[in-house]
């Protein structure tokens, strides 16, 4: 009798082994699809009424019944049962319990295969929109920092070795660029998400006069997918989405790592607010950047979703195979981890302070102005490679004398290259060298201010 209760129990004479029920269930992780499942089912019912497969009145009962079931789920009043497998079965069986035969009509012209694909697409579409808002907030936090830190010059690094001086704001706007590409990538992914699976049914479509265009429109999909076989096997959009999340978390972890470094005693560039740091259980003096470390660490969860999904998809024959049920675990974990980082990140960005005194006290270390001097020589007509060599030898001289380039006398400088004039001191020193950077997109103050205006306008437009 227990078997009769199963929606697919008609041809079975033996009850399912309870261990099999536990092994095959997905309700423990797909319950979070309840809201999108109801949205999809309501649209499906409206389509069925539109083509006359159910009456308008039956449709209203179904739409209303589903809304009540969702409310019950959201109140936490739904008892999830392993034997009902998944969220789709729970909602349908609750509907049948309420409406009897009318509830039994809902699944007309569809299958759980197109249903779960639809749910996932609706879920991912919402997730993309939510991520876009998060990323815009994060960009705004960086833009506000860029306004605040406009006067601060910091060392720029390559190979983590001091390279050339740039505006601190150049760093903040660099993150805006990365997160902008992330937003654009998500929008691109959204195009492929926004194709409706509904009505592809199990794998072959249906002999019933369903209207796939109509239901696609109701759910604000751009159009129905053109091949029913492809629909039930397609999880490309999840792999793509996981990749988008992975790059977001790569960018977040680059930022986190940089700030972890800048927060060390060795760098000392950054102060983090107490609210976003934690203490040590044994060392009383410690203040640890755990939030940043976890933002860096959660990339493991996010990035592993990509291989998990690809491995799941590899070699699966058409069309639906139960393997696909595992897709949700990877995607939800990756999405949750990314969203939790993005929720905190803007506040960390806004709350930190640059330790300007400390930055300035060591700004002349590391010959940040060497490239500026080389370019000065080029402007005086010295071939680039010769200029490079000359400045290299001047740096070596400074190292011997334990001094800076700006501390060399004009005679010392002219001893290596007679094209050097007294105006050389206008580009020596880190601040002068930063100010000398004028090319488009460079880290000098004029260009950074220009880009800051671009970002202010871009983010204001989007609001």
Annotated catalytic residues are 159, 280
Q: Is 249 in the site for ligand ARG (CB under 6 A)?
A: no
Q: Which is nearer to ligand ARG, 112 or 125 (CB)?
A: 112
Please identify, using beta-carbon distances, which residue of 105 and 235 lies nearer to ligand ARG: 235
The least distance separating ligand ARG from the CB of residue 124, rounded to whole angstroms, comes to: 14
Asked if residue 324 binds ligand ARG (CB under 6 A), the reply is yes
Decide: is 114 part of the binding site for ligand ARG (CB under 6 A).
no
- Least separation, in Å, of the C-beta of 367 and ligand ARG? 60
Stretch that binds ligand ARG, among 108-116, 191-199, 374-382, 393-401 (CB under 6 A): 108-116
323 vs 407 by CB, closer to ligand ARG: 323
Shortest gap between Cβ of 32 and ligand ARG (angstroms)? Answer: 12
Number of residues that bind ligand ARG (CB under 6 A): 10
How does 417-442 read in b/e, with b if 16+ C-beta sit within 10 Å?
beebeeebeebbbbbbbbbbbeeeeb
23 to 62, contacts with ligand ARG by CB under 6 A? 26, 30
The CB-of-116 to ligand ARG minimum distance in angstroms stands at 4
Q: State the SS3 of the chain.
A: CCHHHCCCHHHCCCCCCHHHHHHHCCHHHHHHHHHHHHHHHHHHHHHHHHCCCCCHHHHHHHHHHHHHHHHHHHCCCCCCCHHHCCHHHHHHHHHHHHHHHHHHHCCCCCCHHHHHHHHHHHHHHHHHHHHHHHHHHHHHHHHHHHHHCCCCEEEEEECCEEEEEEEHHHHHHHHHHHHHHHHHHHHHHHHHHCEECCCCCCCCCCCCCCCHHHHHHHCCCCEECCCHHHHHHCCHHHHHHHHHHHHHHHHHHHHHHHHHHHHCCCCCCEECCHHHCECCCCCCCCCECHHHHHHHHCHHHHHHHHHHHHHHHCCCCCCCCHHHHHHHHHHHHHHHHHHHHHHHHHHHHHHCEECHHHHHHCCCCCCCCHHHHHHHHHHCCCCHHHHHHHHHHHHHHHHHHCCCHHHCCHHHHHHHCCCCCHHHHHCCCHHHHHHCCCCCCCCCHHHHHHHHHHHHHHHHHHC
228 forms part of the interface with ligand ARG (CB under 6 A): no
Minimum distance of ligand ARG from residue 268's CB (angstroms): 51
Binds ligand ARG by CB under 6 A, chosen from 142, 171, 255, 320: 320
Report yes or no: 237 and 325 within 8 Å, Cβ to Cβ. no
Nearer to ligand ARG, 30 or 182 (CB): 30
Per CB under 6 A, the list member of 41, 61, 93, 113 interacting with ligand ARG is: 113
Is the Cβ of residue 221 or residue 320 nearer to ligand ARG in the bound state?
A: 320
Does residue 338 interact with ligand ARG by CB under 6 A?
Answer: no
Among 169, 246, 325, 390, binds ligand ARG (CB under 6 A): 325
CB of 350 to ligand ARG, least distance (A): 40
**Closer CB to ligand ARG, 201 or 270, in the complex:** 201
Compare residues 197 and 444 and give the one whose CB is closer to ligand ARG: 197
Of 106 and 427, the one with the shorter C-beta distance to ligand ARG is 106
Q: Give the range of 11-19, 322-330, 413-421, 444-452 binding ligand ARG by CB under 6 A.
A: 322-330
Phi and psi angles of residue 76, each rounded to the nearest 5 degrees, phi first: 80, 20
In the complex, least distance from residue 356 CB atom to ligand ARG, rounded to whole angstroms = 54
User: Which residues in the 67-86 window bind ligand ARG by CB under 6 A?
Assistant: 86
CB of residue 200 to ligand ARG, shortest distance in Å: 13
Contact pick of 48, 59, 66, 116 for ligand ARG (by CB under 6 A): 116
CB under 6 A: which stretch of 135-143, 299-307, 319-327, 425-433 binds ligand ARG?
Answer: 319-327
The answer to whether 92 contacts ligand ARG (rule: CB under 6 A) is no
Long-range contact set of residues 341-345: C-beta below 8 Å, sequence gap at least 24: 341/249, 341/252, 341/294, 341/295, 341/298, 342/131, 342/134, 342/135, 342/137, 342/138, 342/248, 342/252, 343/134, 344/276, 344/291, 344/295, 345/138, 345/141, 345/252, 345/255, 345/295
Min dist CB 189 to ligand ARG, Å, is: 21
Binding to ligand ARG in span 360-399, by CB under 6 A: none
**Which residues of this chain interact with ligand ARG, rule CB under 6 A?**
26, 30, 86, 112-113, 116, 320, 322, 324-325
């Amino acid at each position: 009798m227990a078997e009769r209760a199963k929606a697919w129990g008609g041809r079975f004479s033996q009850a399912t082994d309870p261990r099999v029920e536990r092994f095959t269930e997905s309700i423990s992780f797909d319950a979070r699809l309840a809201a999108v499942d109801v949205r999809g089912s309501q649209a499906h019912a409206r389509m069925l009424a539109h083509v006359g497969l159910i009456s308008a009145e039956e449709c209203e009962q179904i739409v209303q019944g589903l809304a009540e079931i969702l409310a019950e789920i959201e109140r936490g009043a739904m008892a999830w049962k392993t034997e009902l497998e998944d969220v789709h079965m729970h909602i349908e069986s609750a509907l049948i319990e309420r409406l009897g035969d009318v509830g039994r009509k809902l699944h007309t012209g569809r299958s759980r295969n197109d249903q779960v694909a639809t749910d996932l697409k609706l879920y991912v579409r919402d997730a993309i929109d939510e991520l876009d808002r998060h990323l815009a907030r994060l960009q705004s936090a960086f833009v506000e920092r860029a306004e605040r830190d406009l006067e601060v010059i910091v060392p720029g690094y390559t190979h983590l070795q001091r390279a050339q001086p740039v505006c601190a704001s150049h760093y903040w706007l660099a993150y805006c660029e990365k997160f902008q590409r992330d937003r654009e990538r998500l929008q691109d992914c959204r195009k492929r998400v926004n194709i409706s699976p509904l009505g592809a049914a199990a794998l072959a479509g249906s002999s019933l006069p369903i209207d796939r265009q109509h239901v696609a429109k109701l759910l604000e999909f751009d159009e129905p997918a053109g091949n029913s076989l492809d629909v039930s096997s397609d999880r490309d959009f999840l792999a793509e989405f996981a990749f988008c999340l992975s790059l977001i978390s790569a960018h977040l972890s680059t930022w986190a790592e940089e700030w972890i470094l800048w927060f060390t005693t060795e760098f000392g560039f950054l102060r983090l607010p107490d609210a976003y740091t934690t203490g040590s259980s044994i060392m009383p003096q410690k203040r640890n950047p755990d939030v940043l470390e976890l933002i860096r660490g959660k990339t493991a969860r996010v990035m592993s979703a990509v291989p998990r999904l690809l491995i799941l998809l590899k070699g699966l024959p058409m069309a639906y195979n139960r393997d696909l049920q595992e897709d949700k675990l990877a995607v939800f974990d990756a999405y949750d981890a990314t969203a939790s980082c993005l929720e905190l990140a803007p506040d960390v960005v806004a709350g930190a302070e640059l330790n300007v005194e400390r930055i300035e006290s060591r700004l002349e270390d590391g010959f940040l102005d060497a490239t500026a001097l080389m370019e000065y020589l080029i402007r005086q007509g010295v071939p680039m490679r010769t200029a490079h060599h000359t400045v290299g030898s001047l740096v070596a001289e400074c190292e011997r004398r334990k001094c800076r380039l700006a501390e060399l006398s004009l005679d010392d400088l002219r001893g290596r290259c007679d094209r050097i004039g007294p105006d050389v001191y206008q580009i020596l020193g880190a601040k002068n060298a930063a100010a000398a950077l004028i090319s488009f997109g460079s880290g000098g103050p004029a260009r950074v201010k220009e880009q800051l205006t671009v970002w202010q306008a871009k983010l204001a437009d989007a609001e």
